[in-house]
Amino acid sequence: MALLVTDAVVLHGFDYLETSRIFRLLTREAGVQSVLAKGVRRSRRRFGSALDLFAGGSAEIHTKPGRDLNTLAGFDVVRSRADIALDLGRFTAAAAIAEMVLRFAGEDSGSALFDAVVGALDGIAAAAPDDTRAAALAGAWRVVAELGFAPTVDFCVGCHAGIAADASVAFTHPGGGALCTRCVRLHRASRTLPAPARDALRTWVSGGRYPLADPAETRAHQRLLREFLVEHLADGRELRAFDVWERERWEGA
């Protein structure tokens, strides 16, 4: 049994038996890992009191080839991201990011995806309540890009011709991006993207921030992201955390 020491972030956790917990971690060195933290509910000495959802730090994992559940030997929490749990908007946004990673990433995920997820969670934790959705969209599209499915917005996915930056374009989810005026007649377009929406996508995919002041525009971007995920990654399975984040289903409860 080998000992893996790696940067890690907690994306999911649940109780196991009377004293232990099972965590799903995204690690820099080994992608997504399921680990058993024995006795963590009885004593926090090995794992720290801040080991909870979205916490990041250095994990020590006993691994064995072919094993689906490894053993967490220790976790030194460097950043707890406790602010995420203090606001429902932040929490549901972070949960949507975690769901994307747990559903679509694997053990072969590289350090670039790890950095994208850490950046997304940090952006959500630091965002003002009115900016949380834009921060989550920025993080989510960067994660999509690191998963290898970045949308094309500056070139036609049909003929690869360049498209003017200030043009509104037809966008096709099956094709993965923008269509020129000629190719739109040959492909099924999903929706029209105005130039500012293309600017936002271009910025987010490259890891930047693009503020959204209009709530309707923000919700349109959430729909676009959901449709893109369903088309390319979801395999027909429901995105439950994303649905809660997008539709704010906790409000009025």
Structure tokens at 49: 């009191």
* 67 assigned to some structural domain: yes
Asked which of 25, 51, 80 is the last residue of a domain, the reply is 80
pLDDT reported for residue 216: 93
Q: What is the pLDDT of residues 212-241, one digit of tens each?
A: 989 999 999 999 999 999 998 877 788 999
Q: What is the mean pLDDT of residues 15-24?
A: 90
C-alpha–C-alpha distance, residues 74 and 94, integer Å: 24
pLDDT reported for residue 224: 95
Is residue 249 very low, low, confident or very high in pLDDT (cuts 50, 70, 90)?
low
pLDDT reported for residue 232: 87
Which residues have a Cβ under 8 Å from the Cβ of 176 and sit 6 or more positions away?
149, 151, 152, 157, 232
C-alpha–C-alpha distance, residues 104 and 93, integer Å: 17
Q: What is the pLDDT of residues 170-205, one digit of tens each?
A: 999 999 999 999 998 888 888 999 999 999 999 999
Stated pTM of the model: 0.91
* 217 assigned to some structural domain: yes
**DSSP states along 97-160:** HHHHHHHH--TT--HHHHHHHHHHHHHHHHS-GGGHHHHHHHHHHHHHHHTT-PPB-SB-TTT-
* 175 assigned to some structural domain: no
Asked which of 26, 45, 80 is the last residue of a domain, the reply is 80
Query: Which residues on adjacent β-strands are paired with residue 226?
Result: none
pLDDT reported for residue 45: 65
Q: Are residues 135 and 215 in the same domain?
A: yes
What rounded mean pLDDT belongs to the chain? 91
Is residue 44 very low, low, confident or very high in pLDDT (cuts 50, 70, 90)?
low
Q: Are residues 48 and 108 in the same domain?
A: no
Is residue 253 very low, low, confident or very high in pLDDT (cuts 50, 70, 90)?
very low
Number of domains in the chain: 2
* One-letter amino acid of 18: E
Percentage with pLDDT > 70 across the chain: 95
Q: What is the pLDDT of residues 61-78, one digit of tens each?
A: 999 888 889 999 999 999
CATH number of residue 58's parent domain: 2.40.50.140
* 7 assigned to some structural domain: yes
pLDDT reported for residue 187: 84
Q: Are residues 22 and 142 in the same domain?
A: no
pLDDT reported for residue 46: 67
Cβ proximity of 201 and 151 under 8 Å: yes
Q: Are residues 93 and 207 in the same domain?
A: yes
Q: What is the pLDDT of residues 108-152, one digit of tens each?
A: 888 999 999 999 999 999 999 889 999 999 999 999 999 999 999
Structure tokens at 216: 């309707």
Cβ proximity of 49 and 71 under 8 Å: no
Is residue 157 very low, low, confident or very high in pLDDT (cuts 50, 70, 90)?
very high
Structure tokens at 34: 């399921």
pLDDT reported for residue 166: 94
Element (H, E) at 5: strand 2-16
